[in-house]
Each structure stands twice: as C-alpha cells, then as structure tokens.
Amino acid sequence: MNSIFGLSHNMTLIIWALLAIVFLVVLIAKYKWNPFVTLLLSSLMLGFLAGMKPEEIIKSITGGLGGTLGTIAIVIGLGTMLGKMMAESGGAERIATTLVDKFGEKRVHWAMMVVGFIVGIPVFFEVGIILLIPIVFIVARKTKMSLLQIGIPILAGLSTVHGLVPPHPAPMIAIEAYHADLGKTILYSLIIGLPTAIIAGPLFGKFIGKRVLVEPPAQLAEQFATSEGRKLPGFGITLFTILLPVILMLIGSVASIVDPAGTSFLTQFSEFIGHEIIALLIAVVFSFFSLGFARGFSKEEVSKFASECLAPVATIILIIGGGGAFKQVLINSGVGGAIAEIATQANVNIIFFAWFVAALIRVATGSATVAMTTAAGIVAPVIALTPGANVELVVLATGAGSLILSHVNDAGFWMVKEFFNMTVPQTLKSWTVMETILSVVGLIFILLLSTVV
C-alpha cells in the first residue's frame, strides 16, 4: 500500500495523509463525532495506509499523546485554576473597570482590547469569554455604545493571545516541536500581537459595530447587572497575579541569555522558576493568597475553586493529546519527511508554509489547537531541513494560521453567536471576519519582522 498508480513514494504518503485528514474532518464536521476518538481513528487509519506495523502505530499514538501532554496538561490545569481565581475574586472585572476609567468612555473600545489581551494571558479563549462577557454587557450599558464595538476588541485580544502568545498551550506545542526559544517567542509575539489586535479589535470593531446592531440576551444582561455592587480586589495586585508567570518566564530567558553556560546558581535558579510549569505553579499558589484568602475566601472555598474548574478542561486536554498522537503518526509514517522534502525542493518560504498548513487544518477542523498541533508535526521536519530559519517566527506563523476563518465547525463560533445574541450571518460578518483579519494581518507583520531579525 506504499505506492498507488505508479506515483512516487512521497506523493503516495501525502495522498494517504490527505485521505486521513478528510476522514477526520468529515467525522467531526458532518457527523459530529467526538474529536478525541476521531483523532485516534484517523491516526490508526493513516498508520495502516502508510504501511506501518501495528506495534509501530500503537507506539506512535501512545508516544505522541504522552509526549504532547507531558507539559501541556499541567499548563492547562494550572492556567485554568488561575483563571478560576480571577473569576471568583472579581479580578477580571477590576481590571476592566479601572482601564475604562483611565481611558474614558470615548476610547473605551481600546480599553476593552487591552482587557482581552491581559486577561487572555493565563486563561483559555472560552474561559476568557465567560469571564469577560459580563463586563462587555456592563460597559455597553454604561456607555450606550454598540455591543459589538465593545465586544469585538475583547474577542480580538483574547484570540490573539490564544494563538500567538506563550504560555498558551497551542504556541507552547509549536515551541516544543520546533525547539524555539520561549523568551524570544514571547517578545516577538507581543511585537506582532499588539498591532494585529488593534487592527482586528478597536478599528474593525468600530466599523462593524455600526453595521451589525445587536442587543445582549435579556436574561443574561439582567443576571450580570446584579454583580456590579460587589467589592473588587485592587487593580495592582490583580494585574501582578495575572502577569506573574510571564514575568518569571522572561526572567528565566534573560538569565539564559546573560549566562548561556548556566554555571552560576542565580542563572540555574532563574531558569528553574522561569520554566512554564514552575512559573504557573508559583502564580497559582500566589493567587490562592492574593485573590483567595486576602479576599475573605476560606481554605475550603479556595480548594473547591481549584478542584471544580478542572472537569470542564478534561475534553480539551484529551483533544490536544489526540492531536499529538496524529502528529506523531504523521512524523513516524514518513509523511512529515515527504512534505518536508517536497517543500524544500520547491523553495517554499517556511513562514508562509507554516501559516498555510495551519490555516488549512483550521478551516477543515474548526479547532485552532488541533490546527496548530497537527501543523507542528508537518512543519517540524521542514524546519530541520531549512538551516537558518527563524523558528520563533515560524511558531507565530503557525499560530496566526490556526486563527483564520472560524465558522460553523468551531465551538467558539457558536459561543460568540449565543453570548452576543447574533444570527449566523451576523456572526460570520463580525466574528469570522475578525478572526480572518487577525490571521492575515498577523502573517503580514511576521513576514515584515522576518526581514529584520
């Protein structure tokens, strides 16, 4: 089964990979099968079609799943706990109200983008929406502005951080696959992410807010209105708690740059606390005090918050693991190498290639995380054959591609539609266009930055 119709071995492998991806897409998009189960079935299918032995397929699946989740599962669990502490303490609302006061009502949509960007650092996109939707409704009511003019900038901030900025799991997967430097990736992601979020957020939000007029769901608006009177934590301590893991990771990266040999105790300690797992663990423990005990929560309540937030992310963790299994079969079957060989022979720009592969998988599967995980498996062998490639920018290009054209096969599409009380056409005109702007503008900025770094 290694060659069909007299085609070369590489082309045959690519055809089998495309067939497995089509199988994956049809089962998820058309028949609504569970993505984790479908990813495992697609991995088995590709392995057999590519001529792998049964024991090799099983080893690839278990190795890929375990290898992917080794770090990512801990990052997801700790990040979710940090987000839960923000939600329960009112920290997210404190950040929003403070920035609105500072920016003023006329520039409130700029404040909302900053809110989405900051709050999105430690939490998943879906968690960020749930945290911030009350603030969108409250601010829209206070300022009498269009709901989308307030909401689109927040969504742009959240989505940009989700796709581009570590320590989010999707960028972390690509960083590990490409052996990229974490500190450099964070720096480049901020240089590219902020102007990209500005264009897709406040600028596009102001444009579309005047053309798509929607009202928040009455029951939700009423429910969230009652939370305004609660006492909120301080702005400084909330901001410090959210940014603590990023600060620690940057300290670790700076220490490794200053002392590459890592001989001093200070460098070793800085690199230890700068590891994403340790940095997030420190931030979560700190949040138990800064946003928990200091806010009057009992130890039982803090423990309950930390425990109950983990159940909803179990599915996300399994899907990421399934994506890792599929990625490993792509590599071990030789598909990754075949694509790498063809791409290098065609002299494809590695940044554009990474973006294009992730974009195709995103449109097909509806999942930014699956797109980035799968694309990492395809792009990693190409990077190995492309000396001098800026791997940090390739990470960001993969992330930008994974954001494009969210439509009806994306859970985020339906979440935005329901929370903003929009029709499907309205959601396509606003949310889908915003995501596509993020992806394309992000690619343009990455290509521009690649000319100088």
Span 60-114, pLDDT tens digits: 999 988 887 877 788 778 877 887 887 788 886 787 678 778 887 778 888 888 8
Long-range contacts of 430-433, Cβ-Cβ distance < 8 Å, separation of 24 or more: 430/148, 430/152, 430/208, 430/212, 431/152, 431/155, 431/406, 432/405, 432/406, 432/407, 433/204, 433/208
Residue 226 has pLDDT above 50, yes or no: no
**Domain locations along the chain:** 9-450
* C-alpha to C-alpha distance for 311 and 394, rounded to whole angstroms: 33
The lowest-confidence range among 39-53, 139-153, 220-234, 380-394 is 220-234
- Say if residues 79 and 120 touch (Cβ distance below 8 Å): no
What pTM value is reported for the model? 0.68
Residue 219 has pLDDT above 70, yes or no: no
Residue 225 has pLDDT above 70, yes or no: no
Percent share of the chain, pLDDT over 70:
90
Residue 48 has pLDDT above 90, yes or no: yes
The lowest-confidence range among 8-12, 56-60, 156-160, 265-269 is 8-12
How many other CB atoms are there within 10 angstroms of residue 60's CB atom? 24
Q: What pLDDT sits at residue 290? A: 92
Cis peptide, bond prior to residue 312, ω within 30 of zero: no
In this predicted model, which residue has the larger pLDDT, 368 or 15? 15
Percent share of the chain, pLDDT over 90:
24
Per-residue pLDDT band for 227 (boundaries 50, 70, 90) equals very low
* C-alpha to C-alpha distance for 185 and 165, rounded to whole angstroms: 8
DSSP 8-state secondary structure symbol assigned to residue 294: G
